[in-house]
Every structure is written in structure tokens, then in C-alpha cells.
A = this chain, B = another copy of it.
Amino acid sequence: MNEIIIKPIGEIVSPYKTFDDMPIQGKFRENVEAYIELKEEFVPGLRDLDGFSHAYLLYYFNRSNRVTIEGRPFLENQTHGIFAIRSPHRPNHIGLSIVKIIKIEGSKLHFSNVDMLDKTPLLDIKPYIGYFDIRENVKSGWLEKHFENGKIPDNLFLKNKDK
């Protein structure tokens, strides 16, 4: 299997139009909202998702036109392997975010915890299941030294330096 063809199932409509005003992690902007405009044929697939508080969104980093196998993350000046960071400039350019579901109306899924740009092509939606997805004894590698009392300072999330 050498090439796989995938097709967007919809689009993300986000208030963030450029990298500069977008946070690194949407978890830190609780009050910002966006929505998914799902293609009509996939709308029945949303049934019962409204019982979940959170969902994974898989999407395509369509603004990235390069792959850096070793990249510099937002918090540091040193590089790490692309699989140890969340940079968009990765093989296959697939993005993953956990968002908070606000409401689902027809073909629109409204959510907060936004960290995608406007017009980002959506590839999949999966339910976030606490019992499977919340892990214990988690070590977060190079990121841990940036934690202060278990929290990364909020101001570090206001600019995306890795663009």
C-alpha cells in the first residue's frame, strides 16, 4: 500500500484566520467557539455524539507545504523529532485536537477548545472516552521542564512560534 486517497468530510469554520492569533492548544481558550460544517451525506453519522462531552477531531494541515523531520516546538529553541512534537509540518499533515462539544444542530457541530484555522478540511470525528483515553503515570518528555507547578504558563500559548 503506497498511496491512500482520503477526502474531507467537512470543514472547520474558525475565528482564527492566521497562525498569529491562534493558540497552540485550544484547551486554554475556553471561551472561543468554532463549528464544523459537515457534508450532508455524513450528517447521520453525528447521531448520539451529543451524549459525549468531548471529541477528537482529525483534520488536514492544509496550510503547511513542508515536512520537517526534526522541528522546533513553540516552547523551545532546540529541535526534537517530529514525532515528539505536535508541529503541523509532519509527514501526512494530519492534525489531532480534543475539543469540547457545545451543541449539534443539523450539519453543524459547535465546539470550544479551538486550535485550528478557518477553512481547515476535516477528516474524522471520534468520541473521547474517558475510560479509554485518560491514562495514568503519564510522562511528557521534553515538555515537563516547562511545567510550573504542573501548569505551563498561559502566556506561552498566545503565539505560535513554530510557523
A49 to chain B, nearest CB (A): 4
Q: Which residue of A9, A27, A49 has the most chain B CB atoms within 10 A of its CB atom?
A: A49
Copies in the complex: 2
Q: What residues on B are CB-neighbors of A124 within 8 Å?
A: 83, 90-92, 94
Question: Interface size bucket, A side?
Answer: 35 or more
89-133 of chain A: CB within 8 A of chain B: 90-92, 94, 96, 98, 100, 121, 123-133
Q: How far is the CA of A30 from the CA of B72 in the complex (A)?
A: 33
Q: How far is the CA of A124 from the CA of B60 in the complex (A)?
A: 12
Q: How far is the CA of A127 from the CA of B84 in the complex (A)?
A: 5
Q: What residues on B are CB-neighbors of A143 within 8 Å?
A: 127, 129, 131
- The one of B9, B50, B86, B121 in contact with A126, judged by C-beta atoms closer than 8 angstroms, is B86
Q: Contact between A54 and B138 (Cβ–Cβ < 8 Å)? A: yes
Q: How far is the CA of A100 from the CA of B2 in the complex (A)?
A: 27
A1 to chain B, nearest CB (A): 5
Given contacts A48-B84, A69-B42, A135-B128, contact A123 B141 (CB under 8 A): no
Q: Contact between A60 and B4 (Cβ–Cβ < 8 Å)? A: yes
Beyond A6-B94, A47-B81, A83-B124, 6 additional contacts (C-beta under 8 Å) are A4-B8, A45-B81, A47-B80, A49-B84, A86-B127, A96-B126
